[in-house]
Structure 1
Amino acid sequence: MSIKQAATIDEVIVLLDEIIEISKQEQSALGLFTALYREVTLKVKEGIQNGSFQNGERMEKLDVIFANRYLKAYYQYKAKQKASECWEFSFQQAETFWPIVVQHLLLGINAHVNLDLGIASAEVSTAENIKDLESDFNQINIILSNLVEHVEKCLIKIWPTLTFLLKFSGKIENFFIDFSH
């Protein structure tokens, strides 16, 4: 299996769709994070199109670099090549252990946000202009917070116990957003 990479945000979406379809066919949990990531990518694309970002061109470049890190890790794993440690762990858990959906999402979010985002940001910026990304990062946080309610509703449909756990933990409003802070 070759390592597919995207050049545009539209190509990112097409490749994510392919992974989701493969995951459905294989009944693989690898598609869980991909489905969430696709929704975020669609909202970023929409934000670029409607001028929500300070620099739409830079944001698309960041999005593509960021997505390509995930895509590379996915295709490496599928080809039985070594991906980064955090992605390798996330993918192995999805294939060998069926924890709750939230755990799969959190493993993917951990790898992608806590490793890939910093690297992608460094690739799209210089030390002199990295501060210019702050406004667009804040806009991404707004996009993520707007998706939280939708994601929680979807998860509750397949795992109703999540409502109880989120209420019990006091995290029902900021469950996914708090993860990356």
Structure 2
Amino acid sequence: MPHNLSVHCGEVTTVPEVVAALTAIRDQSAADINAPELDGISCFTRLYTIITENVLRTLDGSHPTRRFDDPAFLERLDVVFARRYLDAIAAHERPDGAAPACWQLLFDRRREQTIGHVNFAACGVNAHVNYDLALALLETWKDFPPTEARRADYDQVNDIFAEEMDELREEFDAFLAGTRDGGTLDLFGNAMSDLLVRVTRGQAWDAAFEVWRNREDPDAYERALRSETERLDNAAKVLGWMILRAPGLP
């Protein structure tokens, strides 16, 4: 079993550094997730690396069509967002094991061989999007307050998921992924997964904005932040528990 992943969890400050850290964690946590022995951290980190590499291609201008209106905002959000995952791994490996409950669920069960690739990956996405993302937005908004243009950039990341969806679903043997490529069932599975991404990322923005409304009152803001942090962690833990046990996922 791999150990000491926290050596890769230092302070990242750029998206290329995020990609490098995720790649190292992915490779150390499991040399090959297609082997009989699975690792939940590697399953999720493999997916996360693919998406982040695509974000980087947009940020550095190498993507053929997509551009962000405010790339500095997306870069800051991407780094802050990734730090939350890296911090959760580092916290898990400390003696106190103080990772958020939704992440601890995945970390504790990462080597259970009865859990499928897609379940591990979806459990990680659940913790990262349904818990971390709203909190990462709030941290990022301190320097890049929410605007309609920044929301439009944020929503463009949904298109990145959509571009990768078919390959990701096949990679992780998701529900209906084994059907004829481009067929009705395959398209339906991709559409449902895409809808799920768009809904959950939209909910994260809305949850963050409810806290952000209190920014002019520091005490109210801190109360709202504590309450929302606890709510998000509890909800993501319950959903993560269900995801790990689900027999088939979109």
State the alpha-carbon separation in 1 of the partners of residues 193 and 45 from structure 2: 15
Evaluate the alpha carbon distance shift between residue 140 and residue 170 of structure 1 in structure 2; reply closer, same or farther with a 3 A threshold. Answer: closer
Letter in structure 2 aligned against 1:172: G
Q: Which has the higher helix share?
A: 1
Letter in structure 2 aligned against 1:92: D
Render the CA deviation track for 1:14-41: whole Å, top value 9, x for unaligned: 1111101211259633101001000100
Evaluate the alpha carbon distance shift between residue 128 and residue 24 of structure 1 in structure 2; reply closer, same or farther with a 3 A threshold. Answer: closer
Letter in structure 1 aligned against 2:109: Q
Evaluate the alpha carbon distance shift between residue 86 and residue 172 of structure 1 in structure 2; reply closer, same or farther with a 3 A threshold. Answer: same
Find the residue that maps to 1:130 and give its secondary structure. Answer: coil
Return structure 1 stretches of 4+ with deviation > 6 angstroms.
167-170
Render the CA deviation track for 1:27-79: whole Å, top value 9, x for unaligned: 63310100100010001011112261111111111100000001111222233
Find the residue that maps to 2:13 and give its secondary structure. Answer: coil
Alpha-carbon distance, 1:90 to partner: 1.7
Alpha-carbon distance, 1:171 to partner: 4.4
Q: Which of residues 2, 8, 13 in structure 1 aligns to 2:19?
A: 13
Choose 96-105 or 22-31, whichever is displaced more: 22-31
Aligned residues: 177
Please tell me whether residue 140 in structure 1 is matched to residue 146 in structure 2. Answer: no
CA contact (8 A) 1:48 1:60 kept: yes
State the alpha-carbon separation in 2 of the partners of residues 174 and 91 from structure 1: 29
CA contact (8 A) 1:5 1:72 kept: no
CA contact (8 A) 2:106 2:124 kept: yes
Any gaps of 5 or more consecutive residues in structure 2?
A: 32-36, 200-250
Counterpart in the other structure of 1:64: 79
Counterpart in the other structure of 1:44: 55
Counterpart in the other structure of 2:190: 173
Any gaps of 5 or more consecutive residues in structure 1?
A: none
RMSD of aligned C-alpha atoms?
2.7
Counterpart in the other structure of 2:221: none
CA contact (8 A) 2:40 2:121 kept: no
Evaluate the alpha carbon distance shift between residue 128 and residue 149 of structure 1 in structure 2; reply closer, same or farther with a 3 A threshold. Answer: closer
Alpha-carbon distance, 1:168 to partner: 7.2
Evaluate the alpha carbon distance shift between residue 139 and residue 170 of structure 1 in structure 2; reply closer, same or farther with a 3 A threshold. Answer: closer
CA contact (8 A) 1:9 1:64 kept: yes
Find the residue that maps to 1:174 and give its secondary structure. Answer: helix
Evaluate the alpha carbon distance shift between residue 161 and residue 124 of structure 1 in structure 2; reply closer, same or farther with a 3 A threshold. Answer: closer
Alpha-carbon distance, 1:161 to partner: 7.1
